[in-house]
Amino acid sequence: MDLTNNGDQPQTGRQNIPTGGATVVFGSDAHGGRDCVECSIKSENTQEMATESRLVVPPGDRESCAESSFACCDLYQAMVDDDVRRMTEILASGDVDVNAMFHFSHNDRKRLSERLLSMNVGQCMPEYAALHVCCVCNNVRMLDTLLKHSPDLDTLATTGESALHMACKYGHVTCVQRLLQCGATVNIRSDDASEDTPLKTAVTCFTLTDSDTARNTYLHIVKELLEHGTDVNMIDAAAGCDVNAASRSGYSPLYVSVQDNNLTAVLDLLQAGADPRRYVKEWCPAILATINRQLVVLLLFLLHGAAVNTRDSFSGATLLLIAARKASVAGVCMLLRWGANPNLDHRLGTCPLWAAVKIRNVQLVSILLQTNCDLELLSLEMSPYRPLTPLQLALELRHLHIARLLLLAGSQCKPSWVRPATRGPGLEHNRVAVRWIERWVKNPCRLDALCRQRIRGAIGLHIAEKLCCINYPQRLKDYILLKDIAFIRRFTLPT
């Protein structure tokens, strides 16, 4: 067979010959343009490293090589020329191994596909089976021809990827469908550092593309993988398609979808059984959605069983604390409606109210004060040696409005906490604030202040019953029920 390919440079190929463990390299890249078949005979020795002897056989003496090597050479040339009819004849003869691995020259990789060339940058001896080439180049006709001869669908190229990985990576939906229908292992992992599954590869490629057409293509591939997760014709039917499978780096498809704010992929993964409670390192998808202020995604996770008081495994911060730190008013309100506990703190003692005071968000402070949260929780976040309550923090920050809200809510204040500033451009303003706070501290028994402080622990779903159990003067009871009705009208009063 003429390897010159109609005047072009001869092509190269590489085939493992069954007899004797020989590796045959076709082509002229290494010999300055001379056509040859180079047989590298490797002797196996368990005690010493294998030694290699090379025999250069001119094209006229090809009969000295194994007959299967010539069939592989013909198969190689048929793939390069995209000759499906010739490939069919070669495979039908039975003289060729359909799983043969080939080393393609630079020119042949360029002729086959720019992708086949670009995906092997930095590798000196990349090898592919015919199945890999069909999936990378999206040659469906050639792929159908190969599949009729029962190739090994899980063969890995030297890049560590299977044919299904390559089809998912480049968005070839038809190739993915053909491989899955013929029984490719849907949960196979790549033989590299990432150990990605095809599903993880498709979701990652989805997040990296900006084209709407490409996104729809990868989304179609994700759906195909999920639909074939429990197919009885799969080679690994028991394993199925694990939508929670994470790579060695620890990132699951659901985590990657949340990271890219991909609502459609999140919906598909949740419907396929992805677990929003599964942690990725110290975070779970619900925590990531809260950090990114993705309220719709967070609501989906809560509907699919995520705990509203979920903590991150590093600092113990709850979803409510994270939302408060991010100044997400809508997120805080949604979590409170789902029953989040405002008194849960993290390892330094910081609670949501303390975080809201720290970022000086008056609206968040007002919302959290309506939940009967603990006003005296101490936090070591500002200093490991001096724990502070929310009111102490407000005084440190000289935030008059927040301090007033906390005092009205019943927070305890001591005169020693009030320390006037001695320097800075806001000295006069600080002095006014200090004098105002001192009046509150020295006169805590004003009617409205006393009322708020006394009923602080009584606020709840049955406020009227609790009020009856407390020995209040009648004047205070009348004030609570008549003058402060707006403060307690959100609760149900028994008739």
Among 111-115, 165-169, 176-180, 196-200, which stretch is predicted with the lowest mean pLDDT? 111-115
pLDDT band at 138 (very low <50, low <70, confident <90, very high): confident
Q: Which residues, including other chains, have CB under 8 Å from residue 101's CB and lie 6 or more apart?
A: 14, 15, 16, 127, 128, 129, 157, 158
Give dist(CA 476, CA 480) in Å, integer.
Answer: 6
Residue 490 tokens, joined: 């959100």
**Three-state DSSP class for 419?**
coil
For the segment 62-99, what is each residue's pLDDT rounded down to a tens digit?
A: 343 344 455 567 777 777 777 778 878 878 877 777 77
Is position 364 within any domain?
Answer: no
Is 246 in the same domain as 174?
yes
Closest alpha carbon to 407 in 359, 351, 378, 448: 448
Residue 259 lies in a domain: no
Mean pLDDT of 31-40: 34
- Looking at the fold, whether 160 and 37 belong to one and the same domain comes out as no
- Span 334-357, mean pLDDT? 86
Among residues 152, 182, 207, the one where a domain terminates is 152
CA distance 333 to 318: 14
Please tell me whether residues 129 and 31 are part of one structural domain.
Answer: yes
Bridge partners, residue 392, by sequence: none
Residue 429 lies in a domain: no
Whether 73 and 136 share a structural domain: yes
pTM: 0.46
Q: Dump pLDDT digits (tens) for 171-190.
A: 888 898 888 888 888 878 87
- Looking at residue 59, what is its pLDDT? 38
- Give the phi and the psi of residue 183 in degrees, each rounded to 5: 105, 25
Domain count of the chain?
3
Report the candidate in 121, 97, 128 with the shortest Cα–Cα distance to residue 13.
128
Residues 88 and 12 in one domain: yes
Q: What is the domain extent for residue 21?
A: 1-152
The answer as to whether 37 is a domain residue is yes
> Does residue 94 share a domain with residue 30?
yes
Backbone angles phi, psi at 366, to 5 degrees: -65, -40
Beta bridge partners of 128: 102
Residue at 385 is within a domain? no
Residues 101 and 178 in one domain: no
Return the amino acid letter for 418: V
Give the HSE-up count for residue 481: Cα atoms under 13 Å, Cβ half-sphere: 15
Query: 379-428 pLDDT, tens per residue?
Result: 887 777 778 888 888 877 777 788 878 877 777 766 555 554 444 444 44
Question: Residue 235: what pLDDT?
Answer: 24
User: Do 237 and 184 share a domain, yes or no?
Assistant: yes
Q: Does 124 share its domain with 15?
A: yes
| Whether 42 and 131 share a structural domain | yes
3 state DSSP class of 321: helix
Distance of CA 27 to the CA centre of its chain: 44
Instruction: Report yes or no on 386 lying in a domain.
Output: no
Closest of 268, 242, 254 to residue 189, by C-alpha: 242
Question: What CATH number has the domain bearing residue 208?
Answer: 1.25.40
Judge whether 440 and 449 are in contact, CB under 8 Å.
Answer: yes
Q: How far is CA 424 from the centre of its chain?
A: 47
Residue that terminates a domain, selected from 124, 152, 180: 152
- Judged by average pLDDT, the poorest of 5-14, 267-276, 433-442 is 5-14
Percent of residues, the chain, with pLDDT higher than 70: 57
Q: Which of 152, 181, 197 is the last residue of a domain?
A: 152
In a domain, 310, yes or no: no
Residue 95 and residue 177 in one domain: no
Residues 86 and 176 reside in one and the same domain:
no
Q: Is residue 403 part of a domain?
A: no
- Round to whole Å and give the CA distance between 53 and 446: 101
Query: What's the mean per-residue pLDDT of the chain?
Result: 66
- Mean pLDDT for the stretch of residues 117-138: 68
